Amino acid sequence: MVRTPRLLMIPGPTPVVRSIQNQMARETVAFGDADFIADFRGVVADLKTMWRCDGEVFVVAGSGTLAMEMAISNVTKRDDDVLVCSHGFFGDRFIDMCSRRGLKVDVLAAKWGSVPVPEQMDARLSEKKYAAVTVTHVDTSTGAMAPLKEICDMMKARHPEALLIVDAVAAAGGAESWMDWGIDVLLTCSQKAFGVAPGLAVLWAGRRAVERRAALGTIPESYVDFEKWIPVMNDPAKYWGTPPVNMIWALKESMRIIKEEGLEERYARHARQAAIFVSAMEALGFRPAAGEGHRAPTLTIFFYPEGSGLEDAAFRAKLAEEGVQSAGCLAGFAGRGFRLGHMGNIDKHTLVGTIAAVERACIRCGYRVAPGKGLSVLQEGLVRE
Ligand SMILES: Cc1ncc(COP(=O)(O)O)c(C=O)c1O
């Protein structure tokens, strides 16, 4: 039998389209190559204008975690107070990171599946003077999306002195965020809604963040220091650390695709398709972990239907045999459900193929769903899309 190709439906890395793969497969040139320098310069300029950033953009070799560390390192110093607003596994990652750096960390933790709300943040921020606040736009462990615009408005009106750091790893390029909302540092990486393979950390620093970095003097870190990279980002002919040439070409192609679609339409498309996709899964009895009103358009955690008898490891193994790679849940959600990404450069074929594979995996695991039950809901939605 012909092997079913496996769709990469985990919440990152996401499917990498052929034109992006082709960039990664190009013959590597010197990082001083004039054409490459022009390409790198163009990528940085596009990121800056498209996300309305009045400061600097950084594209460096690394993963999302490096971007998180870069954010913290450049706007805080030992003994600073920081407020970590966490609604999941990745929000919590800031706690360890900030503690190791000698920061005084307070945590505003939202129940998994819900999100921190501006009123709660306002109350905590009114208790003392914070140097910085971290918010995870979409936490990949729960699929819940924080109300970023409302948080930005509250921060601007009530606590303008604290810098706002936003982890948009599972959001940027798929869920709306603009630097001019009042975000000081926005960070992401290549393998999520940009649809590029893992390998690049991307960070936008607004003017206030760049000024805060300058005021800190020498910082303990070297590789992630804004001041080491600013000359390179403004003139990629300069050297600090070797740029990942092929990955930057891949990002350039991703940016071309994003520009062709239009960032606003890309956000709208993610929202439309996520709603349709979730309805199809609900028709099969699966329930999203994130509460209504704050579900991410980029990924969903689906709890197994009660009484279905579906067992996590066995179900996901069957799903993989049927051609869909999914991810298990983390920490407190482990075993109760599974995670599917629906972000980046995915198309209708991918969504149809995924729901069809879920139906086959359910039936093969002994959970009798009527074949086509989820698909018919999906198709109804997609023809109207
Ligand atoms: C919201 C969020 N932040 C940070 C990270 C860490 O990114 P990376 O695994 O690329 O280091 C992830 C990874 O999935 C994430 O989802």
Judge whether 2 lies within some domain.
no
Do 167 and 209 have their domain in common? yes
Q: Are 367 and 318 in contact (CB under 8 A)?
A: no
63 lies in a domain?
yes
pLDDT the model gives residue 272: 98
Same domain, 247 and 282: no
User: What's the 203 CA to ligand 1 centre distance in angstroms?
Assistant: 13
**Which of 140, 142, 177, 333 is the best mutation target for the ligand 1 pocket, counting ligand atoms within 8 Å of the beta carbon and taking the most?**
140
Question: What is the CATH classification number for the domain harbouring 75?
Answer: 3.40.640.10
Please provide the DSSP assignment of 249-309 as one string.
Answer: HHHHHHHHHHHHH-HHHHHHHHHHHHHHHHHHHHHTT-EESSPTT-B-SSEEEEEPPTTS-
**H or E stretch at 325:** strand 324-325
52 with 176, same domain: the answer is: yes
For position 385, what pLDDT does the model report? 86
Q: Are residues 107 and 227 in the same domain?
A: yes
Q: Same domain, yes or no, for 132 and 36?
A: yes
Contact 250, 104 (CB under 8 A): no
Distance 11 CA to ligand 1 centre (A): 10
Q: Report whether residue 92 contacts ligand 1, using a CB cutoff of 6 Å.
A: no
What are 145's two structure tokens?
């999306």
1 in a domain, yes or no?
no
- Tell me if 327 is assigned to some domain: yes
182 lies in the same domain as 59: yes
% of residues, the chain, pLDDT over 70: 100
> pLDDT of 250-292, one tens digit each?
999 999 999 999 999 999 999 999 999 999 999 999 999 999 9
Given pLDDT bands bounded at 50, 70 and 90, which one contains residue 62? very high
CA of 207 to the centre of ligand 1 (A): 25
Determine which residue's CA is closest to atom 5 belonging to ligand 1.
64
Per-residue model confidence (pLDDT) at position 172: 98
pLDDT of residue 1: 75
Q: What is the mean pLDDT of the chain?
A: 97
Among residues 62, 338, 3, the alpha carbon closest in space to that of 198 is found at 62
Residue 335 binned pLDDT confidence (cut-offs 50, 70, 90): very high
CATH value at residue 282: 3.90.1150.10
Q: Which of 217, 239, 261 is the last residue of a domain?
A: 261
CB of 70 closer than 6 angstroms to any ligand 1 atom: no
Structural domain boundaries, residue 285: 7-14+263-384
User: Which of 186, 129, 127 is CA-nearest to residue 160?
Assistant: 129
Given 261, 295, 325, which residue is the final one in a domain? Answer: 261
Q: How many domains, the chain?
A: 2
- Name the closest-CA residue to atom 7, ligand 1: 64
* 250 shares its domain with 322: no
With a 6 Å cutoff on the Cβ, whether 182 touches ligand 1 is: no
Please check the confidence at residue 86 and state whether its pLDDT lies above 90.
Answer: yes
Q: Is 170 in the pocket of ligand 1 (CB under 6 A)?
A: yes
Closest ligand 1 atom to 141 CA: 16
Cis ω for the linkage preceding 13 (within 30 of 0): yes
CB 169 within 8 A of CB 67: yes
Of 261, 288, 318, which closes a domain?
261
DSSP H helices in the chain? 18-24, 34-50, 64-75, 89-100, 118-125, 148-158, 207-215, 226-234, 245-261, 263-283, 312-321, 348-364, 373-384
Residue 137 CA, closest ligand 1 atom number: 1
Is 359's C-beta closer than 6 angstroms to any atom of ligand 1? Answer: no
Residues 178 and 311 in one domain: no
Q: Do both 201 and 60 map to the same domain? A: yes
Task: Tell me, yes or no, whether 77 and 173 share the same domain.
Answer: yes
Q: Ligand 1 mean position to 380 CA, how many Å? A: 33
Has residue 341 got a pLDDT over 80? yes
Mutate to test the pocket of ligand 1, among 10, 66, 87, 90 (most ligand atoms within 8 A of CB): 90
Establish whether residue 47 lines the binding site of ligand 1, counting it when its CB lies within 6 angstroms of any ligand atom. no
68, 210: one domain:
yes
Whether 4 shows a pLDDT value over 80: the answer reads no
Half-sphere exposure at residue 360, Cβ-oriented, CA atoms within 13 angstroms: 15
Instruction: State pLDDT tens for residues 149-207.
Output: 999 999 999 999 999 999 999 999 999 999 999 999 999 999 999 999 999 999 999 99
In a domain, 34, yes or no: yes
| Residue 328 belongs to a domain | yes
Residues 243 and 158 in one domain: yes
Cβ atoms of 178 and 206 closer than 8 Å: no
